[in-house]
Structure 1
Amino acid sequence: MQRWDRIEAFVEVVRLGTFVAAARELSVSPSHVSRLVAQLEQQLGTALLYRTTRQIHLTDAGTLYYRQCRQLFDGFREAEAAIGDLQERPQGRLALTSATTFGERYIAPLVNDFQLAHPQLEVRMHFSNRRVDIIDEGFDVAIRMGRLEDSSLVARRLCERREYVVGAPAYFAHISQPHALAELSHHRCLIGSRDHWRFAVEGVRREVRVQGRWRANSGPALLDAALKGLGLAQLPDYYVEEHLASGALISVLDAYRHADAAVWAVFPRHRQRSPKLHLFLEHLVSRLPSSLPRPQQDGAPQGAVSPGSEAGLT
């Protein structure tokens, strides 16, 4: 059994990126994890990792060994899920990833409620605006925004989401409101995680590259800049609707608002029959706030979609 402990330590170090994170996941000390990996390398007679002061890298042998061992541990998790199927109750770990602000504001409270109802579950939440490979990084489900392309993943539409181009009255006191997309070139645009904004022109999706002297990869920072009159911003509804209602922000170019900004749950095809995932998705659909409109139709996962197509800064 010692070898399995060593293999598990190695897999978690690679999956999470550091010995400290792996130790936290395994509820042991970092020195114990380091010792287990060193013992595994000694058993195999080859180095698996290059260690530096700040990060680790896989050797060629380590890459091959991780790929094979990861499949074994995924198989173990699927076996646990099969037991859960027999018991008709969620079992094991529920690991999900979501864009940061949306995840913190909407998803985390719903996950916490779900665990209260199913305390036997182990929950892992990861919030990041980077593109996450949910299969390689061991997630059961990802919450994604916007248009989804074809891939091997399955998607379920959770709710609608709208994006607005907004500016403060103080900003429009010095420049007239734009009424056509071409007029954006005359405006100071506040740039988030992408430098192109998405619109619909006569039902056809169009992306317009924007320019400005302000940039940040933070939704709250982008909102604050817009409220203070620094320029125009394109932001999702859950950032701006309160400020639109109060008059602190003004929405422009509404005729060009694109319609493919829904919120989706995407997951590997082999998770489709998991009672744990099915119950969790039903929980999300039934409890998402009314400020995010419920989907018109509720049903089975809808087609194959991309693992990496979040729409803008969320």
Structure 2
Amino acid sequence: MKYLEGIAEFCAVADVGNFTGAANKLDTSVAQISRKVASLEKQLGVKLLQRTTRSVSLTEAGTQYFQQVLPALKVLEDAQLAVSALQASPQGLIKLTAPVAFGEAFIAPLLNTFMQKYSGISVQCTFSNEKLDIVEQGLDLAIRIGKLEDSTLVAKKLATRHLFVCGSRDYFKEQGQPRSIEELKEHSLLVGSQPYWRLFIDNKIQSIPVQGRVRYNSGNALCSAAVAGLGIAQLPGFYVRKALASGQLIELFPEYKDKQEAIWAVFPSNRNVAPKIRLLVDFLAQHLVSDS
């Protein structure tokens, strides 16, 4: 079976386009990837990869070899997944990423419960507001919110959330409460990471430009500013639910609320989804509450 050595490593490099991403994908070292690929090239007697200091590309022979061995490699992976699925209890490491505030408040507690239920599974979660490259980082999945821009990813909808426009009672007492979208221009608006708000107007989502003296890339900070009476904010429900319930914040324009923003689990389209990953995604879909 020595002729099989290095094929997985070569395919990972060919798929990702560099040795670092391949090492992350296979959870090994760059040196190990390089050794395996070099050994495969020596065994075949051809150069599969063209290496430079900045990039890695397939040679003509490498392209042909990749096209021919990839289907066979997927068959082997499918066989391994099928056998793994027979285990009474799922095993192994799951690597994922999630937005910071939402991940800390909602995903992390569910991951803890999931690991309590399945003792053979371990989790490595990176909380980041940057859209990390799943393949490059060697991640199994990512939790993302809102519109998905990368069409190369496979997505499963976990839940939906609403965006609330709201301000404090003290602010409205001092500045007046806007009665129309146009009147927002006369008010202090609290700006998030994007210079616009999403509102459902005339049966479609519209982006309303906003500007103001306060701009935070943190939902918690924006919520605190709104409670403090510094202006009006648009925030997801999980930031403002308690403040709305307690009366610290008052919702505006509920008729324009975007009811379609989704929370997604996304996967690389070229990767077989292991049973443990499907199990976690189904668990999150079952326990994440919509309109977070």
TM-score (norm 2): 0.73
User: Displacement of 1:161 after TM fit?
Assistant: 1.1
Describe the shift of the 1:118–1:141 C-alpha distance in structure 2 as closer, same or farther (beyond 3 A).
same
Deviation per residue, 1:204-231 (Å, 9 max, x gap): 1100110111111111111111111111
- Provide the rounded CA distance (Å) in 2 between the counterparts of 1:13 and 1:101: 32
Q: Which position in structure 1 is the counterpart of 2:275?
A: 275
CA contact (8 A) 1:158 1:263 kept: yes
Describe the shift of the 1:81–1:38 C-alpha distance in structure 2 as closer, same or farther (beyond 3 A).
closer
Which AA in structure 2 matches 1:213? R
- Provide the rounded CA distance (Å) in 2 between the counterparts of 1:113 and 1:99: 19
Q: Which position in structure 2 is the counterpart of 1:242?
A: 242
Deviation per residue, 1:121-175 (Å, 9 max, x gap): 2311011111222233222221121234572322222222111011111211222
User: Does the residue aligned with 2:207 lie in a helix, a strand or coil?
Assistant: strand
Q: Which position in structure 2 is the counterpart of 1:97?
A: 97
User: Displacement of 1:82 after TM fit?
Assistant: 4.7
141-150 vs 208-217, which deviates more?
Answer: 141-150
103-112 vs 264-273, which deviates more?
Answer: 264-273
Which aligned pairs between 1:12-23 and structure 2 lie closer than 5 A? 14-15=20-21
Describe the shift of the 1:243–1:139 C-alpha distance in structure 2 as closer, same or farther (beyond 3 A).
same
Larger Rg: 2
User: Does the residue aligned with 1:135 lie in a helix, a strand or coil?
Assistant: helix
What runs of 5+ residues in structure 2 fail to find an aligned partner? Answer: 42-50
CA contact (8 A) 2:197 2:210 kept: yes
User: Does the residue aligned with 1:212 lie in a helix, a strand or coil?
Assistant: coil
CA contact (8 A) 1:196 1:210 kept: yes
- Provide the rounded CA distance (Å) in 2 between the counterparts of 1:78 and 1:104: 33
Q: Which position in structure 2 is the counterpart of 1:110?
A: 110
- Provide the rounded CA distance (Å) in 1 between the counterparts of 2:159 and 2:263: 5
Which aligned pairs between 1:1-314 and structure 2 lie closer than 5 A? 14-15=20-21, 81-87=81-87, 89-148=89-148, 151-269=151-269, 273-289=273-289, 292=290
Describe the shift of the 1:150–1:129 C-alpha distance in structure 2 as closer, same or farther (beyond 3 A).
closer
- Provide the rounded CA distance (Å) in 1 between the counterparts of 2:32 and 2:198: 50
User: Does the residue aligned with 2:278 lie in a helix, a strand or coil?
Assistant: helix
The share of aligned pairs that are identical, in percent, is 37
User: Does the residue aligned with 1:173 lie in a helix, a strand or coil?
Assistant: helix
Q: Which position in structure 1 is the counterpart of 2:46?
A: none
- Provide the rounded CA distance (Å) in 2 between the counterparts of 1:83 and 1:219: 44
- Provide the rounded CA distance (Å) in 1 between the counterparts of 2:32 and 2:261: 46
C-alpha RMSD of matched pairs (Å): 4.3
140-149 vs 96-105, which deviates more?
Answer: 140-149
Which AA in structure 1 matches 2:241? E
CA contact (8 A) 1:81 1:91 kept: no
- Provide the rounded CA distance (Å) in 2 between the counterparts of 1:39 and 1:90: 31
Deviation per residue, 1:77-123 (Å, 9 max, x gap): 87764542343642322111111111111111111121222222231
Which AA in structure 1 matches 2:186? H
User: Does the residue aligned with 1:217 lie in a helix, a strand or coil?
Assistant: coil
- Provide the rounded CA distance (Å) in 1 between the counterparts of 2:30 and 2:140: 27
132-141 vs 86-95, which deviates more?
Answer: 86-95
TM-score (norm 1): 0.68
User: Does the residue aligned with 2:261 lie in a helix, a strand or coil?
Assistant: coil
User: Does the residue aligned with 2:251 lie in a helix, a strand or coil?
Assistant: strand
User: Displacement of 1:190 after TM fit?
Assistant: 1.0
- Provide the rounded CA distance (Å) in 1 between the counterparts of 2:188 and 2:270: 47
259-268 vs 150-159, which deviates more?
Answer: 150-159
CA contact (8 A) 1:80 1:92 kept: no
User: Does the residue aligned with 2:184 lie in a helix, a strand or coil?
Assistant: helix
- Provide the rounded CA distance (Å) in 1 between the counterparts of 2:203 and 2:113: 39
